[in-house]
Every structure is written in C-alpha cells, then in structure tokens.
Structure 1
Amino acid sequence: MVRISGVDLPRNKRIQIGLTSIFGIGNTSADKILTTANLSPDIRCSDLTDEQVSSLRTIIDESYQTEGDLRRVYSLNIKRLTEIGSAAGRRHRVNLPVRGQRTRTNARTRKGKVKTAVAKKKGR
C-alpha cells in the first residue's frame, strides 16, 4: 500500500490517477510530478518500488502544499474574508453562493433543503 502525504493511494489504479486522490494535486500536477520523477503514468500504484515511492514523496513534500496545510490555508482565507466583512465573506457567513450564482432558483446545495412556510391555524 502506497501512502503519500497521509493518504493511502488506491492500489489498482494508475499512479497518475492515484495521485489525484491527494487533496491539492490534480491531473496537471500529477503529470508534472511523474515527469520530474521519471515515472510512466501507466504504472499501477501497487507496482511501485520503495525508491519510486520515496522519490514521489520528496517531490510532493518539497514542491506542493497538500492535505492539511492546504485545507488550513483555505479556511484561513475564508476566515479573513468574513472578518473584514467583504461581500464574499458575508456570503460565506450566511451560507449563500459566493461567486455570483443565481439564488432565486437552484443553489440548493449551498442553501440546504427547501424550507416551506407553514400557515398558522386560527385559534378558537
């Protein structure tokens, strides 16, 4: 089992796809990492040798922010926006779409389940 940056890479997938399971590494970054390490993207994660895994680890640790560090940067950026009271920060605070999407319809992912208004019964 290959473990890089605290993530177990899927065994049966190609290394190019397996690297994308690490938060902060996408397809382009995975390609750059593999060319730097002189590895074929078609190798399966289970077929990697220890030397290849260690070279991948060093490249990723030196060149990329991944997993916990990157998540911390994201959360600090959002926290900063909310503290300074920017438009994006206010949208984050009330759980609305931040980047100008429409909210009259759609936006259910961000707004949550539909809250229907309940009419009050007249008391006797």
Structure 2
Amino acid sequence: MVFILGINFSERKMVAKALQGFFGIGPSVSRTIMAHHHIHKTCRIGQLSQDQVVSMQSELSNMTIENNLRRKILDNIKRLRDIGAYRGRRHAMNLPVRGQRTRTQIKTATKLNRVERRL
C-alpha cells in the first residue's frame, strides 16, 4: 500500500487512475503530472520510487483538490445565491443552470445536476 495525501492506494493500481481518484484531477491533469515526474503511462503505483512519490505529493499539496475544491465550488454557488443572480436561483431550485431545455427533459436534468446546494 502506498500512502498519498491521506489515501492508501494498492500497489497494483495504475498511477494515472490513482491520480484521477482525487476530486478535481482528470485525465489531462493526470497526464501532465506524470509527464512532469517522468512516469510512464502504464506504470503502477508499486513501481514508483520513494522520491517520485514524495515529489508527486508535494505537487498535489500545492493544487486545489479534494475538500478545498469542494468548499470553493460551494462558496461560489452560495455567492451566486446571495447576490440574487439567475444562476444562483437556478441552483437553489435544483434546475439546470447552463441553459439546458426544461420543457421535456427536466427529470433527466435534475438527476444529472444533483449537487449538495443547501446552505
């Protein structure tokens, strides 16, 4: 088991998928981090050296991910609601925010747009 930023990863897990396990890191950012630390795309967590793990941890700690990013998103939604913006009102009503059609696909839209928006 390899311990990265408070999360244990199996040694058989691919590095790219392990990085994408963090909230706020997708495939593109994962590839960028791996390229910066000279890690092959098929490398597994168990094959990393201790120096690579430490340098990856230091880079991840400087990024806005996990709880910090969730808090930032909720603060942005709360700000929109407080100023009375159209997007803020749509968030408050659990309706689509970005101009999606609501006449016929509202059930799908509300299912897909479920985010914890209560404050």
TM-score, normalised by the number of residues in structure 1: 0.78
Within 2, Cα distance between the matches of 1:16 and 1:61? 17
Within 1, Cα distance between the matches of 2:69 and 2:41? 25
Q: Corresponding residue for 2:67?
A: 68
Query: Identity, % of aligned pairs?
Result: 39
> What are the Cα deviations for residues 37-73 of structure 1, in whole angstroms up to 9, with x where unaligned?
12212111232232221111011112x2110111110
RMSD: 1.8
Q: CA deviation at 1:110?
A: 4.5
Q: CA deviation at 1:111?
A: 3.4
Could you tell me which amino acid in structure 2 is paired with residue 8 of structure 1?
Answer: N
Runs of at least 4 residues off by over 4 Å: none
Residues 1:24 and 2:24 are matched in the alignment: yes
Q: 1:99 to 1:9 in 2, by over 3 A?
A: farther
> What are the Cα deviations for residues 56-91 of structure 1, in whole angstroms up to 9, with x where unaligned?
1011112x2110111110000000000101000000
Q: 1:40 to 1:96 in 2, by over 3 A?
A: same
Q: CA deviation at 1:17?
A: 2.1
Q: Corresponding residue for 2:115?
A: none
**5+ long unaligned stretches in structure 2:** 112-119
Residues 1:108 and 2:107 are matched in the alignment: yes
Residues 1:96 and 2:95 are matched in the alignment: yes
TM-score, normalised by the number of residues in structure 2: 0.81
Q: 1:9 to 1:102 in 2, by over 3 A?
A: farther
Within 2, Cα distance between the matches of 1:7 and 1:105? 42
**5+ long unaligned stretches in structure 1:** 113-124
Bigger radius of gyration: 1
**Equivalent residue pairs, number:** 111
Q: Corresponding residue for 1:54?
A: 54
Within 1, Cα distance between the matches of 2:22 and 2:10? 11
Q: Corresponding residue for 1:118?
A: none
Within 1, Cα distance between the matches of 2:52 and 2:70? 27
Within 2, Cα distance between the matches of 1:24 and 1:43? 21
